[in-house]
Structure 1
Amino acid sequence: MEVKEAIEKRRSTRKYKNKSLPLHLVERLLYYANMAPSAGNLQARDFIIVDDESLKEKIAEAAYGQEFLKDAPVLVVFCANLKRIAPYGERGKLYCIQDVAASIQNFLLAALDEGLATCWVGAFDEERVKKLLGIPPWIKPIAIVTLGYGDEEAYSSRMDIKELIHYNAW
């Protein structure tokens, strides 16, 4: 699949087939996630793969009851590593969020190329997720991404690009 085609086809999927994913496939997608640019090439991001049913249920609850999270075969919690970005001081906290976001987009596109569906979830109780997953204090969960074989045709409209582009000033 061409990159531009993947960008146009990528959608958020909330219904998944009850079909497991091999761990090596998830790890390969995370390899591509980590190929994203990062401030100072510090790669201040870490990934937590969750496939335990009980844990997925608890994470769905921590994500304000978004039930579809527990139905996805795999969840990946994308985290910012504040120790690794420390050379940039306080600004590094902003940089690593950008770094994680770039890695998520790579992950979403690579998953689509493998015939998999995803949904990027940013609404969750960070402290509950940290506690559930035993995440240390210097790690900040940024997003949870569902991963699996989609069981729906997802659709999302887009605004006309001309409404979003500004030249030389607002």
Structure 2
Amino acid sequence: MDFYEVIRTRRSIRSYKSDPVPEETLTRILEAARVAPSGSNRQPWKFIIVRNEEIKRKLARACHNQMFIAEAPIVIVACGYNIHWNRGEYMGDLSMLVDVSIAFTHLILAARAEGLGTCWIGSFSNREVKKILNIPEDVNVVAITPLGYPKDESFGEPGPRKPLSEIVSVDHF
């Protein structure tokens, strides 16, 4: 699939078939995240693959009862480490969020290229997710996504988007 088609047709999928994701497909998707760029090549991420049905249900409840999350055969939780470094006025602790989000975007787009659906979940109880997955206190949960084959929803063209003239400036704001 053409890269621009992947970008244009990626959607948040909220209904999944129970069909398993082949291991080699999952590996390719994770590999896409692994090779993502990060500030000073710090790679401050860790991805937790969840297949256990009870854990998926607990995670869905921790995501404000978005129970569709538990329908997918896999749930991926993206975590980040705050690696402090002395780089002047760079983004500080926000750099970890940026780096993990770049890797997670790679993962989401790779999943679409493989014909799989995802839904970037940013609304969850950080405390509950950390408790469910035994995530250390100094590690942050950045994002969660179900991963699986879409059941009812199809990929297609995006909904209304602002024109470039509204979102791009040249030489000044």
What TM-score do the two structures reach when normalised by structure 1? 0.91
Deviation at 1:114, TM superposition (A): 1.1
- Give 2:115's aligned residue: 115
Q: Deviations over 1:117-146 (max 9, x none)?
A: 111110000010000000012210000011
- Give 2:168's aligned residue: 165
Q: How does 1:45-60 map to 2 (within 5 A)?
A: 45-60=45-60
Q: Secondary structure at the match of 2:106?
A: helix
- Across the aligned residues of Structure 1 and Structure 2, the Cα RMSD in angstroms comes to 1.7
What stretches of structure 1 move > 6 A for 4+ residues in a row?
none
One-letter code aligned to 2:85: P
- Give 1:31's aligned residue: 31
Q: How does 1:1-150 map to 2 (within 5 A)?
A: 1-82=1-82, 85-88=83-86, 91-150=91-150
**Hey, what's the Cα distance between the residues in 2 that align with 1:70 and 1:94?**
29
Q: Deviations over 1:87-116 (max 9, x none)?
A: 348944211111111111111111111111
In structure 1, the gaps of 5 or more residues are none
Deviation at 1:23, TM superposition (A): 3.5
**Hey, what's the Cα distance between the residues in 2 that align with 1:88 and 1:124?**
31
- Give 1:153's aligned residue: 154
**Hey, what's the Cα distance between the residues in 2 that align with 1:42 and 1:111?**
24
Q: Do the aligned residues in 2 keep the contact of 1:12 with 1:154 (CA within 8 Å)?
A: no
Paired residues in the alignment total: 168
Deviation at 1:154, TM superposition (A): 5.0
One-letter code aligned to 1:87: W
**Hey, what's the Cα distance between the residues in 2 that align with 1:12 and 1:50?**
19
